[in-house]
Structure 1
Amino acid sequence: MTAVDPTRSLSSGRAPRGPVGAIRTTCAYCGVGCGVLATPDGRGGAAISGDPEHPANFGRLCSKGSALGETLGLEDRLLYPMIRCSKGTMEQVAWSDALDHVASRFAHIVKRDGPGAVAFYLSGQLLTEDYYVANKLMKGFIGSANVDTNSRLCMSSSVAGQRRAFGADTVPGCYEDLEQADLLVLVGSNAAWCHPVLYQRMLANKQKRGARMVVIDPRRTDTAGDAELFLGLKPGTDTALFSGLLVHLADNGALDPDYIERYTGGFDEALARARSIAGSVGATALATGLSEQDVADFFRIFAATPRVVTLYSQGVNQSAQGTDKVNAIINCHLATGRIGKPGASPFSLTGQPNAMGGREVGGLANQLAAHMRFTPPDIDRVRRFWKASRIATHEGLKAVQMFEAIARGEIKALWVIGTNPAVSLPDADAARAALKKLELFVVSENVRSNDTVNAGAHVLLPAQAWGEKSGTVTNSERRISRQRAFLEPAGEARPDWWIVSEVAKRLGFGAAFDFNSAADIFREHAALSAFENSGGRDFDIGALQSLSDQAFDALTPVQWPTRQDNSQPQPRFFANGGFFSSDFKARFIAPEIPALRTETTAGRPLRLNTGRIRDQWHTMTRSGLSPRLGQHLPEPFVEVHPDDALKFGVTDGSFARVTTDHGQCTLKVVVSERQQRGMLFAPIHWSEATATGSRVGALVAPFTDPFSGQPENKATPASITPYEYVFRGFALSRTPLALPDHAWWARVAVPGGHGYLLADNADLAGWQSWLRSVAGDDLAEYKDFGGGVYRAAYFASDRIEACLFIGPAQDAGDWNVVKQLFAADRLDDEQRRMLLSGKSTDGLASAGPIVCACFGVGRTTICDSIAGGAHTPAEIGAKLKAGTNCGSCIPELKRLIAQVGSTDPEQRQLAAAN
């Protein structure tokens, strides 16, 4: 065995600082895992830029990453432990009292009802060290596997598919493949918006090497704008498409028979099943709703291109057939030997910054740590390593099952750490109701209030936030990076691993949780990965198990596996077999014949697809704090095809009520031909804390994949009906506002305070009374109740303290102009005089709604630039910088160029208005 220097992956002796004192850390958002340079400003904030040395992003950041500095404030932070008292109010307590209370209540419930009566629900936002300690406590020492994670909602179908095919949850490729492929197939992935840094690497390949792109998605997303071929298939038919592709590859001599024979099993059964699902181009077209020509073109391109990367994300995973979809994709790569080779692999685009790290430590209820399973040998191995006398011996409840068990009264204590299930789970109203039944409901959070906290938490424990905590995360290509602290912790906030360890000590397990730092935990995690692992398990970072504290601090990004007997990390798997099954072969999986769990009906004639938008993240507890990120799409909305809009009587810019068998939401209508007929699309981000009646999770059916337990978020039967509001408007305030119950509102972060977009049917005199109750009688007012207009402002010195503009839809005032005035420290006499007109004053023209969030460039400014001769995104970028950072606004720039450059006056007017 060759000895390995564990610091070989480090910057030898180099401090983890970038230029001019910047701290090297990792972004807190998606699974791309971008490196960040954070330069503290000494006032609790920091300047943020991309780390040019990080191999995930080479200095590029998306709009969300670029705006991380705007999310570091303390305004809504949970600063102290709190316990709900007998009067029902939350009271501040000492850490020792809070920890004693949690430990004693957990111990009482376990003693009375057994370990199956308690559960943890974790988050892909946690650091690996936090995840490790929580899993160790629940699975190893409490003796229950009821510990799951919100990653169950985003990538567990990929985990299940990879385990079925490869014998382990192994990502076979790496990011370099995106630059070396000749064909990039994106399935259920709007990478232009959701993974823009990686998408720019794909576009660079397209521009420099001529790589082609195929986009497969029910929605014509911005990603489709760069594709040579767009396949707008019917929802739920991905398995049929890739089954048809497998048949085509077999019938046209495009297989790799040597690879199939030497390294795989089950091919004949999988091919026979594929023939029964979609045995020809015509059958595939019929099953998917695509044209035969498009299907034939896709099959031909795939068959003729040896270097293919198929990238898939939530459109594949978030499905009741998600695992079968994943395996149908993998089957095509195995059949052609296009796996683990430069520019050739299936690749899952992970949603969260540490979903992968959570998988490494057993964050899912059906896993043990270090990619081990609930098999007798693995259970015994982990038990011996941990010296755990009460180790769980069978899988626990997955997320949806867990909350159903809470509703039935079977789980009586729940600890939620770093996530917001009252918003993000399907059938979210039922999940919220279940939380109220718990005997003990503990939340570790860094925000004082969100929908989950407000669902009746008994104990609140203040956790450190990004910028304060230190540890590791693993990105989508198996690359471990350090998150480093660059700010002092807020209030009494503590690391999540410390909080869990302190409870474990109080439960009597102190010897196993005697951790003094994240480095201590990382070393144990690395040692477990190598324990009795002579290459039989994929996850192995044994070369890092002896890192000193100094070496851990200086750790530079390293890809696993990095084994003790292997001096080089391994970027790819399976080019020459070496799978992790008992016979070392991959398995072709014969998928079930695809069928959606529920059919549409006369009462629910449409299907609801949910997803993300460009500049927001999850339930907006972080991204919602950034004024830049709130300006592109500031209101919750539902996207509708023009034919469906006409059929159901809804119009662009109006409101509609979307209803399913599980709930209803009131949303702004966006009519778009990019939406498929018969489908609705609504974003997931808004919560009860950020908008009225817009928790889209409440609409989603709780159907799950039988293998992964991942919910179906893409095809719930739904209806849509118009909902009329007479008045529209907005309010701006230096402090948060409690708006009248009768109003529809959406909260938007704005420079200098808080913004609210409003709609209502109530009497305007009531709005006047409400504003006076907030700001007093000393108001500057313009009122025309007969014309339906009320505008008012309250000033402190020469600055707007609060203002309200409300009226008919086209006469409420210019939100963008008033926002600029509100942000000013001082208004001159002319600006004060013109304020209540709601219109631009000289020298303060509205830039329009923000298109480029990275640089704050508005639509009007961009349209003016196009009219002035900028005819390409590059020319716009040269003038305005728009599109030159993450590039996620480039598709919109292209649409504006087409509209403003059109000879049709309506198109030009549309570009300026929308």
Structure 2
Amino acid sequence: MLAAHMDIDNPQHHATVKEFWQAPNLITKPGLRAVDMFQAAADGKVKCLWIMATNPVASMPNRALVEAALKNCELVIVSDTAAQTDTLNYAHIALPATGWSEKNGTVTNSERRISRQRGLVEPMGEAKHDWEILSMVGRAMGFEEAFAYQHPAEIFAEHCALTAANNNGTRALDLGPLASLNTAQYDSLRPQQWPLSDTHRIGAYRLFADGSFYTPNGKANFVAITPRLPEQQTSAEYPFVLNTGRVRDQWHTMTRTGNAPRLLKHIDRPWLSIHPVDAQVLDVKDGDLIKAEAACSGGIEVILPVKIDDKQRRGEMFAPFHWSATWGSHARVGALLNGANDALSGQPELKHGAIKLSPVAMQSYGLVYGEETLVNALQSATYYYLNTLTSVAACIEIADQRDPQSMVAEVIKHLPKDAQWATLQGPHQLSIVVTRKNKLVLAILLADKPTDIPRDWLDSLYNGDELSPEQINGLLEQQPDDAFLLGKVVCSCFGVRENTIKQAIAEGNNTVAGLGKALKCGTNCGSCKTELASLIESTSAVSKPHLKEETTNEYAL
């Protein structure tokens, strides 16, 4: 696609852009799609990659190939707002960019409404807007006149003028009336829907409502496709289907949302959803760790906690894709999907991988919580770890093939010399609490089976006054206060927890609206309403008589 929604294969569109920009060498065919681009870089055909506002090492399929491509590429430039991403690890040049709260420009939503976006804060440090970075590079390459922009209003005006060039109602995107805005008018621009041309359907609320389409004959064009099966098919060696997707409170690879501890209170870790029958065959239970492998893994180990779910179809698994190497030692789900993609759109086949599964035998489970430098030091001493951000301290979940008692010597090596520490060691668990002037510095809480210790409880102790003997004993015994045993957060807006909601349902609040009135949950952003409805259904079903389902022997690996 050319600029302003124009088609690269359309001769009239090509001529319009070429004339408007005075670009005699304008491209005549599409460039490489993302999957193909990384293959070309791995083959040495692409010498330089400039990656802006995305994290392809974590988000692309066939992670092993993407990593090999970036290692092989002669120059990798990464522009991002985050200081740590999987992709930044391969950058020769890292450019600090501005985030949404620093940007000055426009945004367009899915109903074609353009709104002004004004920065809330000044850019931090050396961060610059994307258009500034591109302009500086363009001028340094000798194109001073083409990249002489001093304000986003100039870029917006140029874009608007291009949408109107040779348009005459033949293209949907038309912003012609906005091309003459000066800086003051741009700054005060009110939200408007395109198309905005004076010649046709000004600010149309709904496109195509009159039955006319932007095609040569004015009729809709349908694209005929031939349905086909996914390329990543299961086999005797890789018998399970892997589906990947999103969780409610995270976005893409968590480079932004992962920095908000509040958003991690709903779901703070990745997992692999497994049907109970599959779990029985694999001999795993909730919380156990399981290793997933695919033909394209390239030696990358993916290990996830098991989540048994009777709503999951037999033979099919689900894992969220948000977590990556930035967040854990074995959380690189993208390694389990190859580069198969749709021939028309180029969209990778992210919903149907083929994997094999095997339980991972661990002797120790637990977490390390406290000062960041100490937690990071212990992170490298364990086989498996997962970062679980809290609001006041660093925290990692860990697992290891050594039992808790065998890990004592390794753990002690990393304890601070200027602090006091207490230990409680039993047949099934090991607890070490480190204090400095009676303030919590570090807690290492291990057991021989998976545990779920509330992070809010640890936050309250770390952020509070001096620890009392009772609080230290509670840490050593890994026994949270009752106030922190209310289950996971379901409503992130108001911090309403699962057990509180279940209690309200039991008291007769058996509608989403009723729960909202009693607890406020679901009354702000509304994203938890689906989960509230599920809790109503499951909690109510417990008290209702039901027929026992007969099981059949229809399932086999």
One of 280, 291, 294 as aligned partner of 1:660: 294
**Structure 2 CA distance for aligned equivalents of residues 769 and 799 of structure 1:** 24
- What SS does structure 1 have at the residue aligned with 2:161? helix
One of 890, 897, 912 as aligned partner of 2:529: 890
2:414 paired residue number? 773
Residues 717-763 of structure 1, C-alpha deviations (whole Å, 9 max, x = no match) = 11222222222111222425320253312212212122212222225
2:514 paired residue number? 875
1:319 paired residue number? none
- What SS does structure 2 have at the residue aligned with 1:370? helix
Contact persistence 2:366–2:450 (CA under 8 A): no
The answer to whether 1:630 aligns with 2:264 is yes
Task: Call closer, same or farther: CA 1:840–1:508 in 2, change over 3 Å.
Answer: same
The answer to whether 1:820 aligns with 2:460 is yes
Structure 2 residue identity aligned to 1:855? F
One of 325, 333, 337 as aligned partner of 1:696: 333
Shift of 1:903: 4.8
Task: Call closer, same or farther: CA 1:811–1:593 in 2, change over 3 Å.
Answer: closer
Shift of 1:387: 1.7
| TM-score, L = length of structure 2 | 0.91
Task: Call closer, same or farther: CA 1:776–1:563 in 2, change over 3 Å.
Answer: farther
Counterparts of residues 554-573 of structure 1 (less than 5 Å): 554-566=188-200, 568-573=202-207
Structure 2 residue identity aligned to 1:893? L
1:135 paired residue number? none
The answer to whether 1:805 aligns with 2:439 is no
1:223 paired residue number? none
- What SS does structure 2 have at the residue aligned with 1:512? coil
The answer to whether 1:581 aligns with 2:218 is no
Contact persistence 1:479–1:559 (CA under 8 A): yes
Contact persistence 2:276–2:309 (CA under 8 A): yes
Residues 653-679 of structure 1, C-alpha deviations (whole Å, 9 max, x = no match) = 212111111124111111112212221
1:391 paired residue number? 26
**Structure 2 CA distance for aligned equivalents of residues 618 and 714 of structure 1:** 15
1:518 paired residue number? 152
The answer to whether 1:453 aligns with 2:88 is yes
RMSD: 2.4
1:860 paired residue number? 499
**Structure 2 CA distance for aligned equivalents of residues 472 and 712 of structure 1:** 32
Contact persistence 2:323–2:331 (CA under 8 A): yes
Residues 855-879 of structure 1, C-alpha deviations (whole Å, 9 max, x = no match) = 1122222223333443322222222
One of 54, 60, 83 as aligned partner of 1:425: 60
| TM-score, L = length of structure 1 | 0.56
**Structure 1 CA distance for aligned equivalents of residues 493 and 409 of structure 2:** 37
1:723 paired residue number? 360
Shift of 1:772: 4.8
The answer to whether 1:410 aligns with 2:49 is no
**Structure 2 CA distance for aligned equivalents of residues 884 and 788 of structure 1:** 43
Shift of 1:695: 1.1
One of 286, 307, 321 as aligned partner of 1:684: 321
Task: Call closer, same or farther: CA 1:549–1:771 in 2, change over 3 Å.
Answer: farther
Counterparts of residues 830-869 of structure 1 (less than 5 Å): 830-841=470-481, 844-869=483-508
**Structure 2 CA distance for aligned equivalents of residues 511 and 434 of structure 1:** 34
- What SS does structure 1 have at the residue aligned with 2:261? coil
2:552 paired residue number? none
Structure 2 residue identity aligned to 1:534? N
Task: Call closer, same or farther: CA 1:682–1:726 in 2, change over 3 Å.
Answer: same
Contact persistence 1:610–1:714 (CA under 8 A): yes
1:24 paired residue number? none
2:396 paired residue number? 756
2:3 paired residue number? 369
Shift of 1:478: 1.6
Aligned-pair identity (%) = 38
1:72 paired residue number? none
Contact persistence 2:403–2:448 (CA under 8 A): no
Q: Which has the higher contact order (CA 8 A, sep 6+)?
A: 1
- What SS does structure 2 have at the residue aligned with 1:628? helix
**Structure 2 CA distance for aligned equivalents of residues 513 and 460 of structure 1:** 21
Unaligned runs of 5+ in 1: 1-366, 908-914
2:185 paired residue number? 551
Task: Call closer, same or farther: CA 1:642–1:431 in 2, change over 3 Å.
Answer: same
Structure 1 residue identity aligned to 2:17? V
Task: Call closer, same or farther: CA 1:650–1:377 in 2, change over 3 Å.
Answer: same
- What SS does structure 2 have at the residue aligned with 1:573? coil
Shift of 1:589: 3.1
The alignment of Structure 1 onto Structure 2 pairs a total of residues equal to: 538
Counterparts of residues 520-539 of structure 1 (less than 5 Å): 520-539=154-173
**Structure 2 CA distance for aligned equivalents of residues 623 and 768 of structure 1:** 37
The answer to whether 1:708 aligns with 2:345 is yes
Unaligned runs of 5+ in 2: 547-557
- What SS does structure 1 have at the residue aligned with 2:518? helix
Contact persistence 2:381–2:410 (CA under 8 A): no
Which structure shows the higher helix fraction? 1
